[in-house]
Each structure stands twice: as C-alpha cells, then as structure tokens.
Structure 1
C-alpha cells in the first residue's frame, strides 16, 4: 500500500493558555537560599506561571483547547476525540480529558488521558497519529496540561524553581494525498532509571507526594537520549538534521536544550525556546512552545519540525512533522 493512501495527521490549529499569576525568580529569594542570577545561570528560567487556588489542570486544558479550535476555525462538535497528556490530573478518576470534553460541550466521541510525564505530549501525538492513520478518528484535540505547582517541595531549591503551570493544544485532522502532517515517531522508555525523577507519593501509597530529582543524572540522560531519539525519528522519515527547520524541544532547562542542539548539529537559530517565560511545564511545554512559535511567526506551513522530550520513567521520544 502506498503511504499516501493512508490519511496523514495534519496540524489544523494550535493554542495555549497560561494562568494569570506570573512568578519571577526574585520571589523565590524570599523563602530559599537562591538568587535570580543562580536560577538564570543554571536553567535559563526567568519566570513561570502558577495556577490560582481552585484552578485545575482540566481548566487550563479546556482554555488551551478553545484557543486551538479557534485557530483551526473549528467548533467543538467537529472533534472526534480528546487526548490529554498530564501527570497532574484533577482527580484520580475520571480522566481530565473527559472533563475537557464536558467543558467544551462535546457529547460524542471519546476522551482519555496519557501519563508519560514530560514526554507525555510526544506519546499523545503518537497515539493520535495512530488513531487517525487507522481511521478511528478524523479530528483529535491533543492537549498537554499541568499544574506542577501542586506537587513541588517548596524547601527544595533544586526543583521548586524549575516548574510552572500551563496548557497547550493542537488540533490534528486527517488529510489525504498530502506531504504535510506527522512523518515519523520514535518512542522509548527504561524503568531502571525511575529513581532519578519521580514523585514520592501516589494513590496506592496513600499520599500526594512531592517531585524528587537527581539533576545531574537527569541532565546526562536527557542530552544523550534526546539527540538519539530525534535522529532516530528523522531517519524513519528519511530526513537528516540539515532538513530540519525547527526543533521544538521539551522546555526543561536551557542548558539541556543547547547541549542537545549541539549534539544534533543544529544551530540555536533553529530551536524554539520559551523556557525563560514558562519554566518546565512538563507535558504542556511542547504544545505551549508550538503555539508561541506560531504566534511569533517562526513556524510556517511546509516547514519540518522536530519535537523531542524526556521525563520520569524514564520515558522519552520524538515526533517529526511537516507543518
């Protein structure tokens, strides 16, 4: 069967939402042994957004979804499925995706969550791509949304300054006989490394827990694995680093972003960076960055975009698409 005979998952619209509260680095100086200069020099982060009291992950996700629908010129009734990538859902169950479905007034189709921490959006894109290619859905809202501020240890300067809250969304739709859309996917995980990035609580341990991280180990694995997965996905698409117009990486740390780009042989002038304004928003960071990059006029139709991310698990992967 010719590849063009299968429907391609094409980006029809993109949007994001950030909570109103902006937290500058200086705010942490009042409670921690840290400074704005220390945070900037080690992470590139200058500020982040925190959700308001009572504001939930599904609230953020629904706002991002509405923005993506508006960008696509579509109504909620045009959507067949909703996938939300999150590690911080409102409740143990039901899924945040079903709450977004309700908030949008959608009563048909199906909705579910995916949990792969910071790699969640890449996993969600891969799943949506498979659903479209197999004919299970024609239009899918793929959302990354997090409220990581709820699981931070405010006494740990090595982690609490890194994360922020937010949501980003894409509308993927089936298109025939096109060279646009998702071209290749590469997914990986290795549970042997779970202790370097995890939350020390959960339902079966009967506690919420806090995020714990061994920063140096995460950095080492991130640079190696992100470059490798991006090259693997490009190879599957029959492309090389020289064909890439934009890398849109998981926005965890500017040093990781720079080191990964260098290992890939891609200049920083071809890398979308938003970490300075949002911090690490986990599964939300890639769709947030895609939405911001489109609004800036960076990403344009026909360009080759590579997204790559790594998170707790360890879980990592990449997606290559033609915008």
Structure 2
C-alpha cells in the first residue's frame, strides 16, 4: 500500500470583506453585541459576480496557481474531486460560456475541461462543512491502492447566493474556495494515518437549505432557496455538536495508535468559538495547539478547514514532520476526523 502526501494547498477569498456594521446587514434585526461575541465573526467576504467572482472563476484561478507553483502538468493529474454546498452553479467558464444558473451537471467536469486535466477522472462529492475531509479520504484511498498518483481536491462555496439578508444567520457565513494536491508519498515521512466518521440525523432539520420567504419579507416577496437555521438552532447545536467531534477524533486517534498528547496541532472547522473551544477541550488540546480563523473570514463551510490548515502552515504553527488532527461537523449531521503526518507542504 502506498503512502499519501499532502503536497500543496492554496485558497482564494473574495476581494471585498464586509464588516459587522456594513449596510448590507441593514435589514437584519436584533444584531446585539452579544450576538457578535457569541459567533465571533468580525468580517466576511462575498463573491461579487459584477467583478467576475463566483464559485467557478476563483477555483480556476486557485487551481491554476497551485498547478503552476507545484510544477504539476495538468495531464499528470489522475483525479479531480470537487465539492460545492450551494445547489446552484452559476458559471461554467469557457467550456459552456452561455450556461448560467444550473443545478447540474456540477463542477468537476467543466473544471477538469477548463484546467486541461485530460486524463483525470472528475468526481463531485458532498458532505457540507466536512467535504474537504471526505475528499481527502477519497483521494487518499485511490492513491493508497495505486489507482492514482496525483489527485486535486477542490472545495468552493458560494453561500452568499443562498443567504437571507433579513435573517441574523446571514451575518455568519462567507464565500471562498480551496484547492489541495495529494500525491503518492515516497517514504514514511508523511501519510494519512487514520480517519473516522459517524453520523446522527436526529437534528437533521436544524440547518438546511429550503424554499421559503425571507424571515422579514418586504413588499411582495416570493419564496426562494435560502439557507435556514432552525429557530432554536443555536441551543440545539449546543446539545450535540460539542461532544460528537471529540468522539470522531478519539476514534481516529485509536485507529492510528496515538494519544492526543502525541499530536502537534489540531485543525478544526470554524463554526463558532464556543464549538471550536469545546472540541479542543474535549480532546485535551492546549490553546497554542489550535486557532480560530472565523473572525476574519466568516464561516466558509467546507473551505474553513483547508483555510485554517493553510494559515497554520503559513504562520509556522504546523511544520514538516508534525502529526496533526483535522476535524469538524457537517449539517445533516456528520462528524469526521483525520490524523495526518505531514511532510513539506507547498503553500501557494
């Protein structure tokens, strides 16, 4: 069985960032100081289609940069795995320039064509906020079995397309994209050591995308597709999300034959400070072994984990040879954790 290397990673965020007092939130009621303190978001970015920003164009930019920086020929990529939580695809690039606002086909096929990945198997997957971890596991499985040598993993989130800007939940989320390259490892210096996942649909309805009117409709508002958080969603999430991610981490560590005290750094999904801190406490992580990134970026769904990983690498908090745990929760609800030993990772 082959080893797996996380070889390169990059992210692309919107050009414009919106502060908490921006007029875009003028129609949102009850934005108290306690709301901002609880969720920990100070600013967030939204794609601007007027400037050519969307879930496809920024991924193309990020992927081309990664391929170029890592000296990876497009026709050497064996597989492309893409995730995008929004069901609405708004762009197909030069492949189908007149195709707008589609539900399917999804992103992988048109992105593969746009990037010139002539040999790559294109695949779309979905696990909402944990999609990056799912895609890493799928890619690692193909590499480990010798069915692929190089796999591109893509997560792109155009969540602002689904936000109800009369609802407080619109202040939490943000757009962004991430691209990672996994390759066959040459030695024992790097590998995916273990992974664990489980699910519980008891609270399936807490966070969904559904057709509805705005929470505070003006004039003759019509139903449209909105992200929707259950009226008591904050308390519901607090009853099960803090405990389930540590369960996944402990299972992954047990599979890897490691204790939490043998882990150098933890990379968490970034839904809110109280959840991230609860996960860290639940696994015994010290404050210097993880970080909060949602304050400057908002909650970028599946992009939060790779962005936090990239930030840790760029700031030198994660170094070659480190053992790390990546973990998070996904609406529905799914919980995932992975244990990695990292080698040199190119951040571009």
Aligned 8 A contact 1:29 1:35 in 2: no
Deviation, structure 1 residue 208: 5.2
Is 1:222 matched up with 2:234?
no
After superposition, residues 302-317 of structure 1 pair within 5 angstroms as 302-317=321-336
After superposition, residues 61-76 of structure 1 pair within 5 angstroms as 61-76=59-74
Structure 2 partner of 1:22: 17
Structure 2 partner of 1:154: 165
After superposition, residues 16-95 of structure 1 pair within 5 angstroms as 16-27=11-22, 30-35=26-31, 37-53=33-49, 55-88=53-86, 90=89, 91-95=102-106
Is 1:163 matched up with 2:173?
yes
Deviation, structure 1 residue 38: 3.5
Aligned 8 A contact 1:57 1:88 in 2: no
Structure number with bigger Rg? 2
Deviation, structure 1 residue 8: 1.5
Q: Distance in 2 between matches of 1:29 and 1:151?
A: 15
For normalisation by structure 1, the TM-score amounts to 0.91
Aligned 8 A contact 1:36 1:46 in 2: no
Distance 1:276-1:75 versus aligned 2 partners, 3 A rule: farther
After superposition, residues 94-243 of structure 1 pair within 5 angstroms as 94-157=105-168, 159-201=169-211, 209-213=225-229, 214-243=233-262
Deviation, structure 1 residue 191: 2.7
Q: Distance in 2 between matches of 1:230 and 1:246?
A: 13
Aligned 8 A contact 1:152 1:210 in 2: yes
What SS does structure 1 have at the residue aligned with 2:41? coil
**Please, which runs of 5 or more residues in structure 2 have no aligned partner?**
90-101, 213-222, 343-348
Q: Distance in 2 between matches of 1:273 and 1:68?
A: 25
Q: Distance in 1 between matches of 2:149 and 2:224?
A: 37
Distance 1:227-1:168 versus aligned 2 partners, 3 A rule: same
Distance 1:35-1:156 versus aligned 2 partners, 3 A rule: closer
Deviation, structure 1 residue 39: 4.1
Deviation, structure 1 residue 227: 1.0
Deviation string, structure 1 residues 160-198 (Cα, Å, up to 9, x no partner)? 111000011211001243241211111122233211111
Structure 2 partner of 1:284: 303
- Residue of structure 2 aligned with 1:10, choices 5, 14, 20: 5
Which deviates more from structure 2 when the two are superposed, residues 97-106 or residues 60-69? 60-69
What RMSD in Å do the two structures reach over aligned CA positions? 1.9
